Amino acid sequence: MGLPFSALNKLGVPGLGAVTTGQVYDRHFKDRDTGTFKDFHLAYVEFCKYFNTVLPGQDFDTPDRGELEAFHKKWAVADEPGRKKMFIEYMQENVHEAKVDDSLFIMAGLAAPAAAIIAKKSGESIPQVKKFKVHLIPNVIFVPVCTLVAIMGATAVQMSKKSKDNNKPTS
């Protein structure tokens, strides 16, 4: 899904290295009071939101709160030029492109059309389903709609799983 950063850089699209340098750091951290972890965390969340919008189509997994707190302790005692360098190095080491499991989408995309036709045919003989008059909907509309719903369901399952993984307590 998408081109690697190196191919995009050759086409003139900014990559991870270009985005994390200078302007983004200055915009979110340089002139901001980030002495406490709470203030730093708010600035970091805004930075991540901006970072994900600068590179359309890309999502990045960020470090968990414990790792971020440990970094903040080191970062808070450094001077301003050192902070910027530390932050850029930290981002390059700890922020990675989000991995998406495409197998769920592929299975939903392959199974949904056949399941839609089977459901439509079996719905003609089941009285509870027959009252919805699904047999009146043409296959050219019914199958793509069912496939779209299946893919949306796969997306929801994946988002739910990722949300549960992110909410696990760290030790």
The pLDDT tens digits along the chain (171 residues) read 344 444 444 445 544 444 445 676 777 777 777 778 888 888 887 877 777 676 655 567 777 778 888 888 888 888 877 888 888 888 888 777 777 677 888 888 899 999 999 988 888 888 888 888 888 889 999 999 999 999 888 888 877 776 666 556 554
Task: Please check whether residues 82 and 53 belong to one and the same domain.
Answer: yes
pLDDT, tens digit (0-9, with 9 covering 90-100), for 101-146? 778 888 888 999 999 999 888 888 888 888 888 888 899 999 999 9
Task: Please check whether residues 113 and 77 belong to one and the same domain.
Answer: no
Task: Please check whether residues 108 and 92 belong to one and the same domain.
Answer: no
Q: Which of 97, 115, 135 is the last residue of a domain?
A: 97
Distance from CA of residue 78 to its chain's centroid? 31
What is the SS3 assignment for 3-23? Answer: CCHHHHHHCCCCCHHHHHCCH
Task: Please check whether residues 16 and 93 belong to one and the same domain.
Answer: yes
pLDDT at residue 8, rounded to an integer? 45
Q: Which of 39, 64, 97 is the last residue of a domain?
A: 97
Whether residue 3 lies inside any domain: the answer is: no
Helices 65-76 and 80-94 meet at what angle, rounded to 10? 160
Instruction: Say which DSSP state 59 is in.
Output: -
Q: Which of 75, 97, 119 is the last residue of a domain?
A: 97
Domain that holds residue 55: 12-97
Task: Please check whether residues 126 and 153 belong to one and the same domain.
Answer: yes
Whether residue 6 lies inside any domain: the answer is: no
Task: Please check whether residues 26 and 80 belong to one and the same domain.
Answer: yes
Task: Please check whether residues 62 and 128 belong to one and the same domain.
Answer: no
How high does pLDDT run on average in the chain? 76
pLDDT at residue 66, rounded to an integer? 83
Q: How many domains does the chain have?
A: 2
H-type helices in 11-138, by residue range?
16-20, 23-25, 37-54, 65-76, 80-94, 103-123, 127-130
How far is the C-alpha of 40 from the C-alpha of 33, rounded, in Å? 8
